[in-house]
Structure 1
């Protein structure tokens, strides 16, 4: 049964989703378009018409003949871009976020608790035994203090409440949730996590990184109907933003099987490049199945997401030196260092890509060193491995990305979200290797750009704006934060298209509008190459096409 929240979401977006999509024609010509694409070499190219047959592009340019055309569309000068590829997101996490408690807008702990109260009041018919939500960020609150169970307990809700921090690296829970998990004053923190306790030694209701699992493992896994509901919500949302492909950063076996079933039933409308979660107990069995891809290139499974450390905001990112604002804290290693050799060897030995989550400089160094050691053992599998986030990197380690061919998979809006606390966390000196997009590009690295939704909003034009300006949505600071690391709009677009496709071994079929590639493209409401950079963020998507079919129209 659809939840009331989902019905409300559907009603709000129904006018955006094409209710009678244009059927697939044999050959389609779209003329009079103001088109921009990169070519395979990464050069920006403009064009005025594009032709595709079924799902494949057959010609792009200003003048060409393709013979008989079944359908001609006059774009009336509108701007066309390749479909956006988000190289790091969480598909079903986004869907769940759209359908559950969203506390992202909360400006205080009390306001976040009130949003939970409002949600529960609006869902009195819900049969769920848990209250799940996400989005709080104490850095944006006046006191900047982590929340505690007291404010949730005051709601007098007899269900466990579990609210993930915006970055997903900490959860805030009530006493009912702590009791269900058996967490008391005597419960030790697990390796790679922390049960935060007060001066008296009692749990405060804050669980960081691996400690979150003590509660989260008890939450019932969604069944197939619930997963389908989440997928539908996420599909519609991403298509409305111009995202035609996404890289799902960490899925378990049950989700992998669900995606395969959805692909077989033609129910995937956004392409998914899925990374198997290294923490799944069935990883070895999944690796033994080899690479998985469907006939329509809507699903690809050939990579593994491994977890190095936590996040900067919750002081879980693993640092070489202590936190500048917490001198006794070096952060956390979510995967113990001694387990890295066997993990790297298993994944690379199975001929899978390894994408390693590393935010702190220690986690990045450990990953780079382990890649180097493992490449010597498996020299046949050294191509296109990734470090997800590559957020704070020791300056002397940045060249290793190029030497080893490691792709930094980075999220521009992380920089603009973190700029209000990053220097507090790591100090000015370490910022020289932080969010260092232009430094990576200048040395010849290819960056795969994404958003990490639902940690950040999925809107790719927010990402393009952040990459080009290094500014917040309010266009501050005036010259951009660490402005020398800004990128050009052409470089930013490449990160969200061609190089994102490259990082998924899909640059032969995706990432640019060229003959032989898939007809994935979007129509937008402005020429982002001719406007002031501050206006890029407000770009609206008018149409989204995938495989030569119109999937969304505003």
Structure 2
């Protein structure tokens, strides 16, 4: 009998017993609410009781008030929506924190805006200090810079404001970077530097690097940063803790109680474990092992396997791979060339035989495999490789391997997700941000057939999950929920309306489906007695308000393990002081 089922059984027995039996007292009760449980046994309720870090009971106000004692904290929801905590299905946890410490380029309307930001940063920086930023996207600028190659400027425009300070500016997708001349010199990138496997040094008509580095070519900047003053071990640890704290605070303020971290090294996982031991992980992490060689994983995966470590705060049982790049940077691997770049069908970041070999290492150690695949060719190759590995391991059951992003899928491959038991780990927010320019890359007909096929996948019986891919997008689940329901872009047009999903489906994708995708559906993902008391209170009911009103909903309370970790309008210090 599982822990939460046993817990619910004991509670039911107490509530049903005669008056001589004393029901357990709640530490926290939430009453007068609109409770959407995502539990088919009792989909709706008014109130919830919590004892310790678990849900004690779900029911009417009268039923739940009976469980309150003199020391019970009572929260009056005043009709607001109470739902399971959002589970971020695919994001980059330290990437989110790091993004808070560099220039934010996401709001730039033109390339000139970014040049101004860099110039201001240079004026405040030490001579030769590295300037970093993240979030630019050439298809979101009001007009292309002049001159440009593939819609991206030449590094001379940055050199004018930063002739001596090296500059590295990450694309919003994370799949390209733009650097200035100082960094090109420092990294020894010139006209004769060959393209690395799985990457491209973009060049102008004369063969000179423009400053745009795609995919694995971004790693060449490490040769430059290695020549700069390096932080001490103490400084590195202090920054790591700052990054974790910043990422956690942002995620909790958006109602995220569990975060699926799409790729961390063993060293980073060591850091998470230290924080878990100290009780300083701000929210629950489901971490995928990445950036390690097959031999290192073969040697270490067993020792790094953790299920609910640190009181349910840290789990490591999966491996992250990446087969292709992103559509925005022309890195997604396609079955046919790009409409706006006919000379390319994208980039393969890891040869399929190598990718499959890593998958076989993972299955040998009982680890889930979660693979980044955006283009229709990449998605087909992932499904093909998974099928071969599954066929060769018929004794393995309930694998729940995942296709991360699953953005562009040939319709003939859609049924294979259900047939193979592969989870489509998607991000609804991309329909909002990418919708205006997807057809530019693929053409109207191919975009319609292959892009963000939420409805088709669900109708075919696949498990579909939701996330944000933060810091590619804001970690706010409400916006991603809205994207999967409305498919409405920022310009107000509906991107492929036939692929919209219902609100119930969208909520399941962000809660119970994400729990299932991490083998945690018995512990979280619904408001069910015995499960972890990870809860969120919203200012508006996103299940019933007018569709265009959904993005205006705000998180009022985030409760993690029965403790209020975020309260809108209340400082972090005041929240921490509460019992």
- 2:83 corresponding residue in structure 1: 81
Out of 479, 484, 487, the residue aligned to residue 470 of structure 1 is: 487
When structure 1 is superposed on structure 2, of 437-446 and 73-82 the one drifting more is 73-82
How much does 1:344 deviate? 1.4
Distance 1:311 1:216, change over 3 A: farther
> 1:68 and 1:538, CA in 2 relative to 1: closer, same or farther beyond 3 A?
closer
401-410 or 211-220, larger mean C-alpha shift: 211-220
CA RMSD, Structure 1 to Structure 2 (Å):
1.9
Structure 1 residues 525-551: Cα deviation after superposition (integer angstroms, max 9, x where no partner): 112222101010111111111000000
Which secondary structure state, in structure 1, belongs to the residue aligned with residue 50 of structure 2? strand
Q: Which moved more, 1:533-542 or 1:75-84?
A: 75-84
Out of 420, 426, 431, the position equivalent to 1:410 is: 426
Asked if residue 224 in structure 1 is aligned to residue 271 in structure 2, the reply is no
- Cα distance, 1:218–1:53 mapped onto 2, change above 3 Å: farther
Residue aligning to 1:210: 216
Secondary structure, in 3 states, of the residue corresponding to 1:528? coil
* Match among 30, 46, 49 for residue 48 of structure 1: 46
Shift of 1:216: 4.0
- Residue 441 (structure 2) aligns with: 425
Q: Which has the higher Rg, Structure 1 or Structure 2?
A: 2
Seen in structure 2, the aligned counterparts of structure 1 residues 360 and 179 have a Cα distance that, compared at 3 Å, is same
Task: Work out whether residues 138 and 146 of structure 1, in 8 Å CA contact, stay in contact via their aligned partners in 2.
Answer: yes
Which residue of 417, 430, 451 corresponds with 1:434? 451
Q: Quote the residue 1:119 is aligned against.
A: 121
Mapped to 2, the partners of 1:344 and 1:201 lie a distance apart of 38
SS of 2:387's equivalent in the other structure is helix
Q: C-alpha displacement at 1:414, in angstroms?
A: 1.0
Match of 2:404 in 1: 388
Q: Distance in 1 between matches of 2:250 and 2:483?
A: 21
Contact 2:319/2:369, CA 8 A, preserved across alignment: yes
Q: Gaps spanning 5+ residues in structure 1: where?
A: 1-24
Q: Equivalent residue for 1:166?
A: 172
Alignment partner of 1:249 is 2:249: no
Deviation digits for residues 390-413 of structure 1 (CA, Å, limit 9, x no counterpart): 001111011111100000000011
Matches within 5 A, 1:18-417: 27-39=27-39, 41=40, 45-62=43-60, 64=63, 67=67, 69=69, 70-71=71-72, 72-121=74-123, 123-124=124-125, 129-141=129-141, 142-143=143-144, 145-216=151-222, 219=225, 223-279=236-292, 282-293=296-307, 294-379=309-394, 380-381=396-397, 383-417=399-433
Query: Residues 261 and 286 of structure 2 are in contact (CA less than 8 Å); yes or no, is this contact kept in structure 1?
Result: yes
Describe the shift of the 1:497–1:533 C-alpha distance in structure 2 as closer, same or farther (beyond 3 A): same
Alpha-carbon displacement from aligned partner over 1:15-59 (angstroms, at most 9, x marks no partner): xxxxxxxxxx962222111211201x5x78121110111000011
User: Which of 89-98 and 216-225 deviates more?
Assistant: 216-225
Shift of 1:147: 2.6
State the number of aligned residues. 523
2:551 match? 537
**Rounded Cα–Cα distance in structure 1 between residues aligned with 2:418 and 2:127:** 52
Q: Distance in 1 between matches of 2:293 and 2:253?
A: 32
Q: Report the alpha carbon displacement of residue 341 of structure 1 after superposing the two structures with TM.
A: 2.5
Q: Determine the C-alpha separation between the residues in 2 that align with 1:400 and 1:514.
A: 32
Normalised TM-score (structure 2): 0.87
Deviation at 1:64, TM superposition (A): 2.9
Q: Distance in 2 between matches of 1:232 and 1:427?
A: 42
> Measured at CA, do residues 545 and 217 of structure 1 come closer, stay the same or move farther in structure 2, by a change above 3 Å?
farther
SS in structure 2 at match of 1:224: helix
Q: Aligned partners of 1:298, 1:243: CA distance in 2, in Å? A: 13
Q: What do the CA deviations read for 1:313-338 (whole angstroms, capped 9, x no partner)? A: 11000011111111110100000123
Q: Structure 1, residues 66-107: CA drift from partner, whole Å, max 9, x if none?
A: 645331332222221111111011111111111211111111
Q: 1:259 to 1:295 in 2, by over 3 A?
A: closer
Q: CA deviation at 1:459?
A: 1.1
Instruction: Report the Cα distance in structure 2 between the residues aligned to 1:492 and 1:128, rounded to whole angstroms.
Output: 48
Tell me whether 378-387 or 273-282 shows the greater mean CA deviation: 273-282
Distance 1:508 1:120, change over 3 A: farther
TM-superposed CA distance for 1:473, in Å, is 4.0
Between 316-325 and 215-224, the greater mean CA deviation after superposition: 215-224
Tell me, yes or no, if the aligned pair for 1:269 and 1:546 is still in contact at 8 Å: no
Distance 1:128 1:204, change over 3 A: closer
Alignment-derived partner of residue 465 in structure 2? 448
- The alpha-carbon deviation at position 365 of structure 1 amounts to 0.7
Cα–Cα, structure 1 residues 242 and 217, in superposed 2: closer, same or farther, change >3 Å?
Answer: farther
SS for the counterpart of 2:63 is coil
Q: Give the secondary-structure state (helix, strand or coil) at the position aligned to 2:479.
A: helix
Compute the displacement of 1:215 (Å). 0.9
Q: Is contact 1:375–1:382 with CA below 8 Å preserved after alignment? A: no
**Aligned-pair CA distance for 1:377:** 2.0
Cα deviation digits, residues 501-527 of structure 1 (max 9, x gap): 111111111111100100011111112
Q: TM-score by structure 1 length?
A: 0.91
Mapping of residues 472-551 of structure 1, within 5 Å = 472-473=489-490, 476-477=492-493, 480-551=494-565
Find the aligned partners of 1:381 and 1:129 in 2 and give their Cα distance. 52
8 Å CA contact 2:26–2:49 kept in 1: the answer is: no
Give unpaired runs (5+ residues) of structure 2: 1-24, 146-150, 569-579
Is the alpha carbon distance of 1:343 and 1:217 closer, same or farther for their aligned partners in structure 2, counting shifts above 3 Å? farther
